[in-house]
Amino acid sequence: MHLDRITPGPNYISSKSNRRDVMDLLGVRYLLSLDRKPDAERDLTLLTTVGNVNIYRNATAHAFGTFYPAVASESEADVLPVPQRDAFLLSHIVVEDPQATRAELASLNTGSAGGHLGQQAHIKESRDDQLSGTVETPSASALLLSMPFDRGWSAVLDDAPLPLFRADYGLTGALIPAGSHRLMLSYTPPGRMLGWWLATGSLGFLLGLHMVRRNAMVARPPRRMLSNSP
């Protein structure tokens, strides 16, 4: 997305606030500024000033989970100038394999329709490593979560595993069938399960080695005492 990398600093105040569409895409609801330049930006309202820090509210920030009506490829988005691409991402979910994504959405649409439903997602943090909530959509649609894609995250939709995929150059996407659903996301650090298996195997090996040595000592015949008598 041509965004600046995070650099160490005393706070999160940044002078790079000219990417308004990206702010909306990532769900940035509040902006801290050391000047009043954001006054000229669209849909930013000054709430208050604390010391020399101006606090603005972004009225058009997308929700943490947002449905997108159109699927596009990275190559389609890459050819656009940065401002146009930022706007493009607000109405399209950009994926690595759009043909496969569209085919999967078409297969999900063969089920029962939910034409009476709206299209919304309510997802909240349950724990540091768990998110949960509800999603509903009248037809199968792509859901974008404004969090970085990480293979440590897994999802369950109505008690069934839900595949997650990389979208919008590094965010998290999922395909939701029509209807109202319960959604849960949980995070397990990659390699944790392997670590548990290795630790368990090591303990088992050490215990087995100890038992072998112990049994060998028990089975060893007692040493004969030498007599000094003639």
| CA separation, residue 225 to residues 217, 228, 229 (Å) | 18, 10, 12
Q: What is the pLDDT of residue 58?
A: 95
Q: What is the mean pLDDT of residues 213-228?
A: 63
Q: What is the mean pLDDT of residues 94-104?
A: 96
Q: Is the pLDDT of residue 7 over 80?
A: no
- List beta partners, residue 62: none
- What does the alpha-carbon distance between residue 208 and residue 215 come to, in Å, rounded to a whole number? 10
Q: Is the pLDDT of residue 109 over 90?
A: no
Q: What is the pLDDT of residue 110?
A: 74
Q: What is the pLDDT of residue 148?
A: 92
Q: What is the pLDDT of residue 126?
A: 85
Domain ranges of the chain: 1-61, 65-187
Alpha helices in the chain (DSSP H): 20-25, 74-78, 82-89, 98-108, 192-219
Q: 13, 14, 12, 23: which is closest to 58 by C-alpha?
A: 23
Within 13 Å of residue 84, how many CA atoms lie on the same side as its CB? Answer: 6
Residue scoring higher pLDDT (6 or 2): 2
Cα 165 → chain centroid: 9
* Residue 134 and residue 180 in contact, taking contact as beta carbons nearer than 8 Å: yes
pTM over 0.85: no
